[in-house]
A and B are shown apart, each in its own frame.
Chain A
Amino acid sequence: SQKIEQNSEALNIQEGKTATLTCNYTNYSPAYLQWYRQDPGRGPVFLLLIRENEKEKRKERLKVTFDTTLKQSLFHITASQPADSATYLCARDNYGQNFVFGPGTRLSVLP
């Protein structure tokens, strides 16, 4: 079965630093990897997606990479702020099918 692992259950960093979250997948590379943010008591909100043939994608302070050799995606938040504190979810998207979410990493940005 296709699995998604996010290697840190929780991550604490200091405000202003870069947060780096890791997502690893098993078996074949999905067509896309997607990243979502989830705040307590709310549904996830989409942040970024990256295609299998893309190495890197950026959006404002966010950057996502996709390494098919390592079967890994890295999610970076630069100049982190306390408002970035949330749970971040990685998901594999194989053309809409077999959509699998990882367990999430709870990020806390300390002032």
Chain B
Amino acid sequence: GAGVSQSPSNKVTEKGKDVELRCDPISGHTALYWYRQSLGQGLEFLIYFQGNSAPDKSGLPSDRFSAERTGGSVSTLTIQRTQQEDSAVYLCASSVTTSGGNEQFFGPGTRLTVL
């Protein structure tokens, strides 16, 4: 079946604009994660959707960042009033269950460039 998809693959925006990044997880996967990866750096956890429970938002760097997951499927990460330091690759991953011990399937990422 299809893997995790993300759109757009690339996004160039001007400082101060809002952007929306989309993630389509693997069908039936309960857990969904968003990460940020700056050039040459590791993955920085942003937010974790765990089924019907409240999401873990502890990794969101500021209140300019928000995310939602509608119907337990598609997720959207929104960055308001973008700053140059928001430039990075944003990766989404999904996992079968929320209990841990399961591999995460990653999408190809969205490369965000803030001018």
Contacts and interface: CB of A to CB of B under 8 A. Distances in A.
A96 B108 contact: no
B108 A32 contact: no
Contacts of B98: 96
B103 A46 contact: yes
Interface in B82-115: 91, 93, 95, 97-109
Contact of A101 (B31, B43, B102): B43
A42 B98 CA distance: 24
Contact of B99 (A43, A44, A95): A95
Interface residues on B, range: 20 to 34
Interface of A: 31-32, 34, 36, 42-46, 49, 51, 89, 93-97, 99-104
B110 to A, nearest CB: 11
Identify which of B42, B93, B106, B108 gathers the most chain A CB atoms within 10 Å of its CB. Answer: B42
10 contacts: A43-B91, A43-B106, A46-B103, A46-B105, A95-B100, A96-B48, A97-B50, A99-B33, A99-B48, A101-B35
Contacts of A49: 101, 103
A108 to B, nearest CB: 15
A34 B93 CA distance: 14
B48 A46 contact: no
A100 B59 CA distance: 10
A96 B106 contact: no
B42 A102 contact: yes
Given A43-B109, A96-B95, A101 B103 contact: no
